[in-house]
Amino acid sequence: MARVISVEAERFPIAGTFTISRGSKTEAEVITCTIRQGSHIGRGECVPYKRYGESMDGVRDAIEAMSERIVGGLGRTALLDAMPAGAARNAIDCALWDLEAKISGTPVAKAIGAVPARTLETAYTLSLGEPEAMAAQARANAARPLLKVKIGGDNDIARIQAVRQAAPQSRIILDANEGWTDDNIVANLAFAAEQGIALIEQPLPAGSDAILRHIAHPVPICADESVHEAKDLETLVGLYDAVNIKLDKSGGLTAALTLRDRARDLGFGVMVGCMVGTSLAMAPAVLLAQDADFVDLDGPLLLARDRIPGLVYQGSLVSPPDTALWG
């Protein structure tokens, strides 16, 4: 039976403003790919990211350009060669996974060996701001066991100290989004270690991080912008201690599974993260993250409105997706 594919641009308001070192946003802009085959429907969501040269229109066009091949029966493995890694491939790949699960009756969790899928503890993200404002965010979320703190500026030591004092019991991930420099990274790392920080994400710009091979890592350092696919990993050995896997970077769950397994083989810690999207984008990542060292899948917690049905969050715990949502 022939497939039918459709693509839709959607926007979901963020609760307040979400700020990182590269700017602020007040809504999550997502692209949803839907593939129908008979009475079965598969869906996938992606979040175009300007940092990687993506736009809403560009990603939508890239998906639509694949329509004829998808309708003709293109599978996930062939998709890896047909499209580059990125948001567009992610939306199609996840829609195909969902469609396959609906047709076969085999849940994605079982297909990838993630059974029984368990509830995970996710980080909760605090936006970049002045130290006092970040302390207020931290104080309001101090009961959460894991906080991810956006930093990346000249005043980061004050920010780190303010957040740590406001949330003394929480484990903390710092995410600099490429905002540190060779001049301040050693001092920032040392202070982070003094404050008991658990992990630091992408302190330096991708491709300008050679110093990481020659300085101490008193806190483990995780690659984010520096890693997209499994082929990126070899060059990161000796620079980073962990990698952040995001479906929008890897180009879908299929490639992300390969990336995760190769990262483990090379001795990297594994974090599974997300862009700011809805539960539909998080659902496959929850299954990918079943054995992750760190989980950062709080996108829906940052939204004023999520999809219905969505993932079930209880505090910082996120449950595996119900098949009515995905998979």
Residues marked active site are found at 150, 246
- 128/152 Cα distance (integer angstroms): 8
Among 191, 244, 172, 181, which residue's Cα sits nearest to residue 212? 181
Tokens 């119900």 label which residue?
A: 322
- 3/70 Cα distance (integer angstroms): 7
Contact 145, 317 (CB under 8 A): no
Contact 325, 310 (CB under 8 A): yes
Contact 56, 118 (CB under 8 A): no
- 126/133 Cα distance (integer angstroms): 10
Q: What are phi and psi of 63, to 5 degrees?
A: -70, -45
Tokens standing for residue 87: 């948001």
3-state secondary structure of 94: helix
